[in-house]
Amino acid sequence: MKQRVLFLNLTTFSKTGGIERFNKCFLKALSELDDMGIVESRSISAYDIVVDERYYSSKKYKGFGTNKPAFVVQSILAARKSDIIFLGHINMAVVGVLIKKMFPLKKVVLITHGIDVWRPLNGARAKILGIVDKIFSVSNFTKSKLIELHNVLSDRVQVFPNTIDPFFPIPSDVTAIDTLDKRYGIEKTDFVIYTLTRLSSTELFKGYDRVIEAMGELVKEHKNIKYVIAGKYDTAEKQRIDELIKQYSLEGHVLLAGYIDEGELVDHYRMADVFIMPSKKEGFGIVFIEALVCGLPVVAGNADGSVDALVNGELGTLVNPDSTEDIKSAILRHLEMSDRDNVQERLDIRRKTLGNFSFEKYRQRLEDFIASC
């Protein structure tokens, strides 16, 4: 008999962050399980209004904009007719607590992503961790935080990692391209480092400032290094980065690309020699596996969920995000062995990444879990 599955989320299609990207893939997996006759699903969003039909049918998706009371009421009514309810974020704890109190035999699963549970919690957020039937964690790092900070039993947490979006245009060719060289003033002999992230003055944990500091030392002996930082930035953070560039005399070496259109994501990965983001608060880091499937070597921090994305260093280089020397050494190693035409090595990186994080494996994990309920 089909399991009736309800997915409650905050936003999926109205924002573009990592959690929204997870939600899109989760909905796509549910949609395919619907088509396979395994589940009968529906989804309700607290804030969305529009739906991308590639991922999920608008006929089964309801968004409430900013009408929170209506969202809560409809979520409870839908839960009454469901067998398994997935809560897409701990900020939906109040809804989850109400559902579990009214329908104690319903299976309720909480999805956790990273810093949302890496701190002390109280009220409904603390209570929901103790009453849900299962907690999904996108990384082993977050699982360890749930156990350490919230005394959650290990067997109640299932690691459910992110995936490559099924619509991400994985390139057939993994060799580097020069289509963006003119835009960024990149010469044929330049070694290009690349970071893609949101640059916010309130989120100073992505590590690109440490990379800039390392660049200050590197360019003294390697004048051909360029560092492109892409992503939307706020005024205060741009000013801080501009000051760092000036402090380390990196004019012409560090370039802020700003917001990157989705259609140019792959070209940006393919213009580089190495992707780097030594973060300290990354729940997983979808950008890492995107870079990897484009054949790009990756350097990440060893103090957060990035470790899971790089499979404990099997898929890339892990560094101490607080050590400028570690970051500098990792860049130097890649610079010294750089070979943009080493196609087989880049294809091997892609193969291993897909072996761990393909969408097919993601959907199968979800199917296996639902079958076990």
Q: CA-CA distance, 47 to 44, in Å (whole number)?
A: 9
Tokens of residue 33, six digits = 């399980």
Geometric angle at alpha carbon 157, from 113 and 12, rounded to 5°: 30
Full-model pTM = 0.95
The type of residue at 368 is D
Q: CA-CA distance, 23 to 344, in Å (whole number)?
A: 33
Fold agreement between 3-163+358-372 and 181-356: yes
- pLDDT of 342 reads 78
- The class level of CATH for 181-356 reads alpha beta
Tell me how far CA of residue 331 lies from CA of 8, 219, 305, in angstroms: 42, 12, 21
**φ, ψ of residue 357 in degrees (nearest 5):** -130, 25
In the chain (373 residues long), the average pLDDT of successive 10-residue segments reads: 95 93 98 97 96 97 94 97 98 97 97 95 97 98 96 97 97 90 94 95 93 97 96 95 97 96 94 96 95 96 97 97 97 82 84 97 98 94
Tell me how far CA of residue 284 lies from CA of 28, 69, 165, in angstroms: 20, 32, 14
- pLDDT of 339 reads 61
- pLDDT of 66 reads 85
- pLDDT of 343 reads 83
What fold characterizes domain 3-163+358-372?
Rossmann fold (3.40.50)
Whether 171 contacts 266, CB under 8 Å = yes
- pLDDT of 167 reads 97
- pLDDT of 203 reads 86
Segments making up each domain of the chain, as ranges? 3-163+358-372, 181-356
The type of residue at 145 is K
